[in-house]
Amino acid sequence: MKMSEASKLRAKWDNKPCNHPDLSKEYHLGAATGDYVCTTCGECGFGRDWVKREKDEAKS
Ligand SMILES: [Zn+2]
């Protein structure tokens, strides 16, 4: 998913809760940024396991 598409998704989603069920590699100008974007809400994080890390942090 392109960075611009992700920011559109984020604007549309409007900070509602999301458990990020599906991630897509983020691209900017045709190159992978190393970030993964949630295809539902557009939130992005570094690496394909950021959702898991975020959930682990929430537990502790
Ligand atoms: Zn999400």
Give me the DSSP letters along 1-60: -BHHHHHHHHHHHTT-------EEEEEETTEEEEEEEETTT--EEESTTHHHHHHHHHH-
- Answer yes or no: pTM beyond 0.75: yes
Helix, coil or strand: residue 48: coil
Both tokens assigned to 42: 């557009």
Ligand 1 midpoint to CA 9 (Å):
10
Q: What is the pLDDT of residue 25?
A: 97
Q: What's the pLDDT band for 58 if we cut at 50, 70, 90?
A: confident
What are 7-56's pLDDT values in tens digits?
Answer: 999 999 999 999 999 999 999 999 999 999 999 999 999 999 999 999 99
Q: What 3-state class would DSSP assign to 49?
A: coil
- What residues are neighbours of ligand 1 (ion), with CB under 5 Å? 18, 20, 38, 40-41, 43
CA 32–ligand 1 middle distance (angstroms)? 19
- Contact status, residue 42 vs residue 6, Cβ threshold 8 Å: yes
**43 alpha carbon to ligand 1 midpoint, in Å?**
6
pLDDT at 6: 97
